[in-house]
Structure 1
Amino acid sequence: MPKTISLQDAQAKLTSATAAVDQLKAKILDEGPGSVTAEELGAAALTVEHCKLALAHAAKQAEETAAAERLEQLELLKAQILDQASNAEQALDCMKRLEEAAAELITQCAGRQQLIAQATAAMRRAGVPQGSTPDQAHAGLGWTDAGLGMGDAVHVDGRRIAGVNASLVIAAALTRATRQAGITVGHLRPAVDVTGTHQGLIDDPARWLHSSF
């Protein structure tokens, strides 16, 4: 018998050896003790014991092989996880770029809000009436208070310059980013949630922003 044997072959040899012992026992019972010598029966019985040990060895080998294959698969999984999980430095770099872009946008929006308040006050002092219709008597300037879902605005030659909520634009940008990433916006909720009334900013940001800028 070879040093190593498959589990299936070891089981087959044990079955065959056990059957041989049973046959010898049956022969003694049928034909008498002289039909089979003690040596023959002992050798057959020893063969069974040997086959049992061989089967146990094959089972152990099979378990060790399965364990090694399992560990190899887990090592591959570990490598895949580490490869795809990125790292803190990559996340920090992305965060910094987001932070810089958001800071620029917040500065612009805060500046617009201050500009609108100061320009509106100046127009009022100069006697420019409230309204959005251009009038050359007032150099094409006008102003309107918040109302009907719209904020305060100043008007220059028919152009409406309104305040823009920076957080809304940032939230819309993040929502659009989920589309590029191929995931649902639910991954950002509840921290980021753009209501349906501002869906236009998500679907067509250029048009939405041009209407306010």
Structure 2
Amino acid sequence: MSPRRSYDQFCSAARALDLVGDRWTLLIVRELLAGPRRYTDLHADLPGVSTDVLASRLKDMERDGLTTRRRLPPPAAAYVYELTGRGRELLPVLQSLGAWGAPALAERRPTDAVRAHWFALPLLRCLAGEGEGIVQVRLDEGEFHLRIGEGEGPVYGDGSSVEEPDARLALDAETCTALDQGSLTLRQAIQDGRIEVSGEGRLAKALRDN
């Protein structure tokens, strides 16, 4: 592997950018916050990245202690990539970066790709402090689930949760974007019917009473 480029500045921000400042690195972290992913899955959910660049970034991230690679037992027998504890510490960094970038989401451009689970981190931020549990989210673009206040491990997952969710939310991408930008609060969205809350768990009841 080629040596990592450095800004060669004795500054914590510069050191951080030495590790995660390359194009695609933080978006790989975004995908791996969902838990272990195969290379093919990562490539599918990072439209626009070349196979060479993705492979290079994953090698760099493994070398820098942000990810690990392990082989799944049979019958899967495939390699998966996952975040280390150090890599998972980038969650609040990504959430803050997303909040800062939200005003740039003026409208979706014709060339913009979208995946339902890309709204997971903004919703996770909006739901912070609402309780603990699994929240199943349905958008027109697809479904994903969130783990609210449950400590270490994946904070979201694509598709349906294998466990019974504590609450189910149905909304659209426009509402997610408004929540991300701060032009709409969670309470307003629920009261205005822009978010449909269902379920009988404590978290669902708390959200309905929000």
TM over 0.5: no
Interval of TM-score (by shorter of Structure 1 and Structure 2): under 0.3
- Greater relative contact order (CA < 8 Å, ≥ 6 in sequence): 2
TM-score, with length taken from structure 1: 0.21
With structure 2 as the length reference, what TM-score do the two structures score? 0.22
- Which one has the largest radius of gyration? 1
